[in-house]
Structure 1
């Protein structure tokens, strides 16, 4: 079983997780980053978990970012739609788009001095 760590305080993330929960086949565990306690340092730093999507595989390996998205969706019957994002000709652009989007989302939510939101 894989465990997907997500930002439960992000409305866009929450919508995607709700969709994944409806569609997944029962082999994916969902873990809100804000509800986790990092006992014995077993998890990456909270900031890292909030900056990029993280998935812990059943084998104990971490999958991060776009790879985590594709792996999470592979637990649904629509996983084939996301697999091309990892193709060699597509991945460089897709990973840059994902990284830029993730950085902007994090900055707006957690680094905004006007918002005053604490992580």
Structure 2
């Protein structure tokens, strides 16, 4: 058997993300391109997403969330750490981020970022609209 077949397949991790947010879409695209192991993606902003969401979609849109196969939910920095551990190129970062006090430091940084997110989203939307206008003018 090859080494790849000898590795256990990790239980699915479901990532809930805001597909209406340009920053979130870009970030998720980067993670998807890095081919994480055993990850399912749920765009919480998509029509009908509420049917597959374990929490109210509005609550899921407030913070980054993941759900383990056993139903446990993680949010904020712990959710990012769980995802990083599934991405081969970022697994080292995910392991390192579990060493105390790093989870607490990362959560504090995430909480500082959250109030800035709407402004960054608006900036990204303006930038995208400006690029589209430039392309249309030709």
TM class by shorter chain equals: 0.7 to 0.9
More helix by share: 2
Question: Within 5 Å, which residues of 2 pair with 1:1-119?
Answer: 1-35=12-46, 36-39=48-51, 43-77=54-88, 78-106=90-118
What TM-score, normalized by structure 2, do the two folds share? 0.67
Between the aligned partners of 2:116 and 2:64, the Cα distance in structure 1 is 14
Aligned length: 109
Runs of 4+ residues over 6 Å off in structure 1:
none
* 5+ residue gaps, structure 1: 111-119
Between the aligned partners of 2:53 and 2:103, the Cα distance in structure 1 is 29
* 5+ residue gaps, structure 2: 1-11, 123-138
**RMSD between aligned residues:** 2.3
Q: CA deviation at 1:50?
A: 0.9
Which is greater in Rg? 2
Q: CA deviation at 1:107?
A: 7.4
